[in-house]
Structure 1
Amino acid sequence: MADESDTGSIQSSQSEQGAEKKAFEDSRFYALYIFCPKRSRVTGEDADSSNHSEDGNLSLTVAATNLSAAAETDLRKSLSQRLSKFPNNPSEGNFLSVGLSTSDESSNSAVCYYCVLNGVTAEVLKEDTTVPGTQYVICFISFHDSSWVTFRPELDQYTAGIVKLLDAEPAAIRQTSSKSTNSDSAHHGQLSQIDGAVKDYLERWYEVVLEYLARCVAKLGSNVHYLIYAALLDAQLQMKGFTQQEEADINKFVKCCSLSSLVQQLQSDETSSKSDGDLLLNLDTNITSLQSVTAVLTAKDNTIMFEVDNFSSTCQFCKMATEHLMSGDPKNVTKIKETLESVKLAFIHNLNKLKRFLRQAETDHYALFRSLIYLKKSGAGDLLLRYVHLDASPDTLNVLTVLQDFIKSKGQALV
């Protein structure tokens, strides 16, 4: 029989390993690699297999990471295999499921966003034509956020921002690397100052790219329906009483709810039905022709106030969307993003349905009545009328005029 002290030591060790594993999985990780699409000979320091991999016609050299050595090796091997089989266009982000080693020597599934970057901006090329055409692969890894593919636009934008920091390396280092005969050694030398701004930028990826949603919900609570409304209204939002960080978060939240990118995707979707394609025609290209609207969001004495020109301050559609959002975990950023995406889809569906009614109303008076009833029930009548005219035919515009004149004469609210 095992000694009780030994049993206690084993349980304690297992508990510590479990805590270490949880801490590892709760963290968010990054890795930056120097990428050489064409295989080259590696000599000297870069020949060390602990930070360099070659697979077929490419090589990867780790430049910065907060992964453990074992996990980073797993990631580099997976990336090498993926990039060898499926070359990526620069600046186009992709997602990859990977198994990474933890401290207890087991493998755990994680999701990795990776993007190939050209490491020289046009501004640098104008100043120094001797700068080598370095490429990098930037990776962001999470164990918990398996559905964060919806953040691809934010991730693409954030990864592009690191190029200027890489260009900011001392000119002498760039010149030395451009004269070197060994491209891998040159690139490795180019990143000798990476412990500064580049590392700080990489470490902040999750805070900047995803957590702005949770910060907005924490700041505004149920008042986030004002932001959804401002986004669907395509209003110019002015803010008072917020910090610079809060204003940046709110602007990103509103952009996240914007219709323009979603409409563009729907227009280019070959699987969309013909009727839906016709209904969405020219909406994205004409969205800038909407009458300019200014909205003001004010924070004062723990109170949020919202005012908007020529429109009510909110609508039932946005309030219901916010209730659904607040019913979940206010810190789960992927669920918040999925909810906002579903809100945009629902609004587009409502817009398409209204347009079908209006087309039918050109020859059917009962369809005109159904259009009025639908506008009332949608909870976003004013918003729908703001967009519905953009691609309307002359006959549909005549129907719209009759409908809007009737609503105005009755003084009926459509919110």
Structure 2
Amino acid sequence: MTETESRYFALYTYHTNRSTTGNGGSTVSDEKEKEVSDFLQREARFNSDFSLSVITTNLKAELETTLRGFIATRLSKGTVFSGIGDVTDIDLGRDESLQCYYYHLRQANDDHVTDDVSSMYTSEEYVVCFLAAPEESLDLFRVDLDSYSEDLLPMLDSEMKEVNQVQVYLSRWHQESVQYITRCINKLNKQLSILLHEAISNSKLEVESDDSVTKSEIIKFMHCCSLSDLLQQANNRDGGQQDTSSEPSLIDFDESGSKLFEVKSENVVKMCIKGDVITFQNSVQNDFCQEWMHTLLDGPNDKPAYSRQVIESYKLRVIQDMNLLKRLVRQAESDHYALYRAFIFLRKCGNCEVLLKHTNIDCSAMSEDANHVLNILQEFVMQDTSS
């Protein structure tokens, strides 16, 4: 069985009885309960009476029945949540073990508020499933699949007039949510290191192209390579506030080329795509991103999971290098040899300007001496670069 043949989709309607108050007639004190076990028990109680009907799928009838039973079990236990997808392994029989991504879609305007706390209503919701071979590593693409699933919701009107459109959309899930990574890598080729550098250095990207699809995929790829999620996790572990300056600084466009949003950033990089020719203005690259680029280009050009694993590995290296630099800076407040080691580290890492930039963003949480050490390191690096 080929990889393409082992990629499936399924879309279900999910009818369940819900309370108009959103809590099944519970009291105000019940609403304030934050215990996970209590929440799961309430969800299981609400989900004890529901129906699950297939709308469209490319699975064979026997396999679809097995999948529906699996999803029904998860729903009955109250472990399928709207707003975030989940990935798990599933055995569909016939020695076919697959990874299954599933997502609960609920209409945003699904509100039925009345004064009668005992009143119930039947909620029509949806569950979307994507399945692929385990080596596809769908967990690496969960954020992309969440977004793709959410974009399906506008097509799902109450009369289901666009079933054919929905089926076409679902059939392209792997191409749109997974394969875009390898398309971008192959498209950029030797210029890939430029985009990688701008992604991890929080630059603002302006894309000029007549191809709205390519433009959108470049934006997604840069977001995929940015450090925003890892920096936020690191800040949360350190007990600090979320730093909005670490979010991916992009300019996005709709199909007409109109600007949708802009995030403030210091450096503006312009990217122009005309056919197979790509040019950059105000771009920078370094040895670290060159190494990263070669690792991606030297690998299989048709394996998105491999490329995504490489991307996540190099992003993690940047975070680890930042943590090491911070430790050396703190040690250098009272140890001159640590200052020398920090300088040697920056000299050899091939990514000094990015590390110094992000470390400076966190300097407000450091002491005055640590800020002084960073200033000295920046001067050393500038002198070493110019010499």
Query: TM-score band, normalised by the shorter chain?
Result: 0.7 to 0.9
Shift of 1:399: 1.4
1:29 is aligned to 2:3 = no
Shift of 1:327: 2.3
Q: Is the 8 A contact 1:100 1:107 kept in 2?
A: yes
TM-score by length of 1: 0.73
Higher relative contact order (CA 8 A, sep 6+): 2
1:142 is aligned to 2:132 = yes
Distance 2:275 2:57 in 1: 43
Distance 1:341 1:80 in 2: 33
Q: Is the 8 A contact 2:8 2:58 kept in 1?
A: yes
Shift of 1:402: 2.2
Stretches of structure 1 lacking an aligned partner (at least 5 in a row): 1-21, 40-54, 175-189, 270-276
Q: Is the 8 A contact 2:16 2:123 kept in 1?
A: no
Q: CA distance change for structure 1 residues 405 and 265 in 2, over 3 Å: closer, same or farther?
A: closer
Q: CA distance change for structure 1 residues 367 and 293 in 2, over 3 Å: closer, same or farther?
A: same
Q: Is the 8 A contact 1:220 1:304 kept in 2?
A: yes
The one-letter amino acid of 1:136's match is Y
1:195 is aligned to 2:169 = no
Distance 2:14 2:242 in 1: 41
Distance 2:3 2:63 in 1: 10
Stretches of structure 2 lacking an aligned partner (at least 5 in a row): 19-46, 113-120, 248-262
TM-score by length of 2: 0.78
The one-letter amino acid of 1:403's match is L
Distance 1:335 1:344 in 2: 14
Q: Is the 8 A contact 2:182 2:301 kept in 1?
A: yes
What SS does the aligned partner of 2:123 have? coil
Map 1:359-378; keep pairs closer than 5 Å: 359-378=330-349
Distance 1:336 1:293 in 2: 27
Distance 2:72 2:127 in 1: 11
1:292 is aligned to 2:266 = yes
Q: Is the 8 A contact 2:330 2:370 kept in 1?
A: yes
Q: CA distance change for structure 1 residues 362 and 282 in 2, over 3 Å: closer, same or farther?
A: farther
Shift of 1:294: 0.6
Q: Is the 8 A contact 2:104 2:128 kept in 1?
A: yes
Distance 1:409 1:322 in 2: 27
Q: Is the 8 A contact 2:207 2:270 kept in 1?
A: yes
Distance 1:82 1:376 in 2: 52
1:242-284 deviation digits (Å, cap 9, x = unpaired) = 6221111111110001111122234445xxxxxxx37xx4463
Q: CA distance change for structure 1 residues 283 and 229 in 2, over 3 Å: closer, same or farther?
A: farther
Map 1:154-303; keep pairs closer than 5 Å: 154-166=144-156, 169=157, 174=158, 190-191=159-160, 193-241=161-209, 243-268=211-236, 277=238, 281-282=240-241, 284-287=243-246, 291-299=265-273, 302-303=276-277
Shift of 1:98: 1.8
Shift of 1:296: 2.0
Shift of 1:334: 0.8
Q: Which position in structure 1 is the counterpart of 2:72?
A: 80
Distance 1:382 1:152 in 2: 31
Shift of 1:59: 2.4
1:287-323 deviation digits (Å, cap 9, x = unpaired) = 3698521112234685543332xxx620111111111
| Matched residue count | 333
Shift of 1:194: 4.0
Please, which moves more after superposition, 234-243 or 387-396? 234-243
Q: Which position in structure 2 is the counterpart of 1:4?
A: none
Distance 1:207 1:159 in 2: 14
1:364-389 deviation digits (Å, cap 9, x = unpaired) = 12211211111111101111111111
Percent identity, aligned pairs only, is 32
